[in-house]
Structure 1
């Protein structure tokens, strides 16, 4: 049951990100959310207001035709804490054509507060192709 609730929460969040719906993007996040994102700041953002401030620029970029869609999602939940990871297609048509295998990786840390699951941690990343090439030529 918890896994299903969390899966629906993440799917709702993903749809809201794609639609540029900031209220729904924020709705299931804790006030003390910590997010490590692809763009700076390198030490992440802490708190719902700094988290809110990260989205308008992304929405502007995405409105130019970029995708943000789940390819794979896995959820593990206990009674009051859970984590999930997802792979997403995130990019423009040109980026997808140039790198069709590229996926945005997101890890979520959730906790149950007042009977409701909320995201307390997000980590977004793309593989560093140059680092991979150095290790696996």
Structure 2
């Protein structure tokens, strides 16, 4: 379904741009109320619900405001009729971090479902490789 995949790519690209700008409304716009997020920082059991997800954003926005990057370098989308998944690699770090670790990328996996005709992110997982 190329049209669905293209729409999901646009949704993820818009989300990443919103994260980089510190635009909370843009970040939350395409997420379900019952989102589950597994992030790099604790809690290790993940966060459940849009309110918990929302609470994680201000500290990350503060980091972004210090000149950090949040750039998608690779994005792959698989879209079905009612569900989709995507995985990506992003450059994510303060200005000095990419220079210190030029190959390090944030890994992103998203699970999406269709609600009332719209694709929404229901699961989000961020990780860095552990050497």
TM-score category, normalised to shorter length: over 0.9
Q: What is the CA–CA distance in structure 1 between the aligned matches of 2:105 and 2:98, rounded to whole Å? A: 9
Gaps (5+ residues) in structure 1? 130-137
Equivalent residue runs for 1:24-103 within 5 Å: 24-103=26-105
Point out the structure with max Rg over C-alpha. 1
Deviation at 1:92, TM superposition (A): 1.3
Are 1:19 and 2:11 matched, yes or no? no
Deviation at 1:22, TM superposition (A): 0.3
Which consecutive aligned stretches of 4+ in structure 1 deviate over 4 angstroms post-superposition? none
Q: What is the CA–CA distance in structure 2 between the aligned matches of 1:107 and 1:70, rounded to whole Å? A: 12
Aligned length: 129
For each residue in 1:41-85, what CA deviation from the matched residue of structure 2 results, as whole angstroms up to 9, or x when unmatched?
110100000000000000001111100010000000000000000
TM-score (norm 1): 0.93
Gaps (5+ residues) in structure 2? none
Q: Secondary structure at the match of 2:102?
A: coil
